[in-house]
Amino acid sequence: MGLALLSAVSQGILWGIMVLGVFITYKLLDIADLTVDGSFALGGCVCAVLVVGGVDPVVAVLAAMLAGMVAGAVTGFLHTVFEIPAILAGILTQIGLWSINLRIMGKSNTPLLKNDTIFSVVGDLTGLSSNTVAMIVGVGVAVLIIALLYWFFGTEIGSACRATGNNEAMVRALGVNTKVTKLIALTLSNGLVGLSGGLICESQKYADIGMGTGAIVIGLAAIVIGEVLWRVLPWAKLHSFGGRLTAAVVGSVVYFLIRAIVLQLGMDANDMKLLSAIIVALALCVPVVWEKYQLRRNYKLALRDEGGR
């Protein structure tokens, strides 16, 4: 049980990098970008092929990130230039990436069992277990990315990207080209997704054509869970941008812990997609129901106080 939970934590941190990418489009642009399912697998496929070809594993991961950025740029191009709705543009790119990923690998999966990866190299140097190494590498990369995102979205262009999702008409009225900000956000988002796909590929020692299936659901669940948990912590400052980014990664870890616990309790692995959908639905519904309950309760208390007078 302890080993399974440790593995869940390490996987949750690595997937948390993907969640940061989903956070950019879902929370900042208010778009559920379905490119994620394809760009995650794209990152894994590119990384696997390069590692098998003898390329340095760090370079392979960076190439995976660049491949994800290209995928995001395609979605952004379809959405901004041809004015295709964002969700449909994401679907089109995702469908196209399925065939592209097959072309890249030449088969449905590529094992890395005989090749060095970032995790195997660090493990050989430190003598630590694979799960511990995955946690260390994942935390290091996640902290670096959160710091860079915090800096970038504090710049002028980054602030314009954030404002685009809040009030696009106002941002356009201020002279900002919202097509450019959307393109930047989608490119950056899928770059992080591709990076996560490459890291997951090296961590699990293989890439599979279906490894990105359901990634957007995991991302949305992690974001909502993270924000709900962060809100109940008395010392947390969810209103700060850095806190929200951290909450996304924390939510990813909690999500994978829930999955691990449920599997340990005997749930059929084939039902995990159903569990994921239920977790997302609950995470989205519970805050709304709680807010309505609080409003109704406050209204009744106000009426009672008014009647007492």
Which pLDDT tens digit goes with each residue over 43-88? 999 999 999 999 999 999 999 999 999 999 999 999 999 999 999 9
Has residue 234 got a pLDDT over 60? no
Has residue 1 got a pLDDT over 60? no
Over residues 220-232, the pLDDT tens digits come to: 889 988 887 777 6
Type of residue at 216: I
Q: For residues 165 and 178, is the Cβ–Cβ distance under 8 A? A: no
Two structure tokens written together for 136: 């260390």
Burial of 48 (0-12, 13-18, 19+ CB in 10 A): buried
**Using the 8-state DSSP alphabet, how is residue 25 labeled?**
I
Q: For residues 189 and 22, is the Cβ–Cβ distance under 8 A? A: yes
Give the list of residues 6+ apart from residue 301 with CB closer than 8 angstroms, or none: none
Which class would CATH give 2-308? mainly alpha
**Using the 8-state DSSP alphabet, how is residue 106 labeled?**
S
Pick from 124, 109, 137: nearest CA to 48: 109
d(CA 139, CA 236): 19
Please report which confidence band the pLDDT of residue 124 belongs to, taking 50, 70 and 90 as the band edges: very high
Type of residue at 100: I
CB hemisphere CA count around 254 (13 angstroms): 21
d(CA 51, CA 203): 12
Sign of the torsion angle spanned by Cα atoms 262, 210, 248, 200: positive
- Domain range list for the chain: 2-308
d(CA 113, CA 221): 31
Over residues 250-302, the pLDDT tens digits come to: 999 999 998 888 888 888 878 877 887 887 788 778 778 888 998 998 888 88
Please report which confidence band the pLDDT of residue 207 belongs to, taking 50, 70 and 90 as the band edges: very high
Give the list of residues 6+ apart from residue 186 with CB closer than 8 angstroms, or none: 25, 29, 31, 33, 35, 72, 73, 75, 76, 79
d(CA 191, CA 36): 10
Supply angle C-alpha 44, 157, 85, rounded to 5.
Answer: 60
